[in-house]
Amino acid sequence: MQEETCILGVPCVTLRDNTERPEALEVKSNVLAGADALRMVENAKRMMQQGNGWKNPFGDGRAGRIIVNDQEPIKYS
């Protein structure tokens, strides 16, 4: 979910103390709130005010097309 919200331009508050997506933290599309209710609310308010001006760190969505176009045709004998 953290990756998808970043790509879609939706701020994310993760209710954990760690993440497998540090890229989202680096561009500030995601924040870790842990299990503390006050931190959850504070971070949600902050993320709603922040907006979504970050750059997507997960690519441009064209990886599959690039890979297919770079493949050599298979020659059957």
* Nearest CA-CA partner of 21 in 9, 40, 5: 5
String of DSSP letters for 15-33: SSS--S-HHHHHTTSEEE-
Model confidence at 28: pLDDT above 90? yes
Q: What is the pLDDT of residues 30-56, one digit of tens each?
A: 999 999 999 999 999 999 999 889 999
Q: What average pLDDT does this structure show over 11-34?
A: 96
Residue 50: the pLDDT is 92
CA torsion sign, 42 to 45 to 49 to 53?
Answer: positive
The pTM of the full predicted model, rounded to 2 decimals, is: 0.75
Q: Which residue ranges form the domains of the chain, and what is each CATH number?
A: 2-70 (3.40.50.2000)
Q: How far is C-alpha 71 from the chain's CA centre?
A: 28
Q: What average pLDDT does this structure show over 45-69?
A: 89
Model confidence at 77: pLDDT above 80? no
